[in-house]
Amino acid sequence: MRKPGSSITLALVLSSLLFVAGCAGNGGGPKRSADGELATQSDQTTAQKRASINLQLAAGYFQRGENSVALDKIKAALAADSENAGAYALRGLIYMQMNETHLADENFQHALRIDGGNGGYNNSYGWFLCNNGRPRDSIAYFETALKDRNYESAVLAIDNEGICTEKLGDMAGAEKLYKRAFNTDPSNLRVTENLARFYYQNKNYDQAKFYMGRLVKANVTDAGVLWLGIRIAHKGGDRITEGVLATELQRYHPDSVQYASYQREAFDE
């Protein structure tokens, strides 16, 4: 069975990039300059600018999978600005990806001690908790993330809360959150995939087909999404769509476990 939200893992990385841009100051709410105006990049000290540059470099290396170099850049950022919450939050994401659970937890909590109302940090820590056996504890962090009016990726927090609510066995609550996420941003492919998967697993094949159709129109070529589409089409007796998606799966992922499952006709795995 496919795990909720398992195919588009880059979403968390992109979420981290959003808080990198706003890491010049710490503490809740919009920052203000000495003249009382909203703070901009020109209000940063030399040390803060140095930290920001290193943090952006760290995020780039993390995206490319160069975790060791990314961690070095974060060290440089913290050497310039030891209370840079964004550095701790990004280091938490890196350690999370590396399965360094204790270190990830420490860094997320450090970021939240500095800036407890930040939507990005709360969403990331909630996701960490959800994926480390604590989905019930994660809900409060997603809700806190959604209270941050400056958080531009609210849809990700809503979707993550839906995934974790589903893990808790609350299907009605999960469906409500997934739909809320979709209504917030209908173009978000991760949300659309989760709705297609959710309805497929709950045997609502008409709804699953609707959301899968949006993914097909968006030309998504992820192996997991294509395999999901094949199974939805198979259940609905749509052999044309099933064949088209199978061809795409063979073209882009001939050595994948999904294509091997298709060849075995293991549609219910």
pLDDT in tens, 104-122: 999 999 999 999 999 999 9
Cα radius of gyration (the chain) = 20
Phi-psi region of 15 (alpha: psi -120 to 50; beta: other; left: phi over 0): alpha
Whether 6 has a pLDDT exceeding 50, the answer reads no
CA distance 108 to 91: 8
Q: For residues 19-48, give the mean pLDDT.
A: 59
Measured in whole angstroms, the distance separating CA 73 from the mean position of its chain's CA atoms is 22
pLDDT reported for residue 152 = 87
Dig out the tokens for 193 from the structure: 């995939």
CA distance 149 to 162: 20
Tokens 């993550």 -> residue: 160
DSSP character at residue 236:
T
CB under 8 Å to 45, separation ≥6 — which residues? none
Q: Kindly report which listed range (22-36, 95-109, 156-170, 187-201) carries the lowest average pLDDT score.
A: 22-36
Identify whether the C-beta of residue 179 lies closer than 8 Å to the C-beta of residue 172: no
Instruction: Collapse the DSSP code of 221 into the 3-class scheme (helix H, G, I; strand E, B; otherwise coil) and give the result.
Output: coil
Total-model pTM = 0.86
CA distance 69 to 220: 31
pLDDT reported for residue 41 = 64
Q: For residues 132-150, give the mean pLDDT.
A: 96
Q: For residues 142-148, give the mean pLDDT.
A: 96
Q: For residues 26-54, give the mean pLDDT.
A: 69
Where are the domains positioned within the chain?
A: 207-269
pLDDT reported for residue 30 = 52
CA distance 200 to 34: 55
Cα–Cα distance list, 155 to 11, 120, 159, 171, 227 (Å): 11, 11, 6, 19, 25
Q: Kindly report which listed range (40-49, 145-154, 213-222, 235-244) carries the lowest average pLDDT score.
A: 40-49
DSSP character at residue 201:
H
Dig out the tokens for 225 from the structure: 């999404």
Identify whether the C-beta of residue 58 lies closer than 8 Å to the C-beta of residue 74: yes
pLDDT band at 127 (very low <50, low <70, confident <90, very high): very high
Give the amino acid at 232.
I
| Higher-confidence position of 181 and 33 | 181
pLDDT reported for residue 146 = 96
Select from 135, 187, 189, 191 the least CA-distant residue to 159: 191
Select from 238, 237, 240, 261 the least CA-distant residue to 249: 261
pLDDT reported for residue 240 = 96
Q: For residues 76-100, give the mean pLDDT.
A: 94
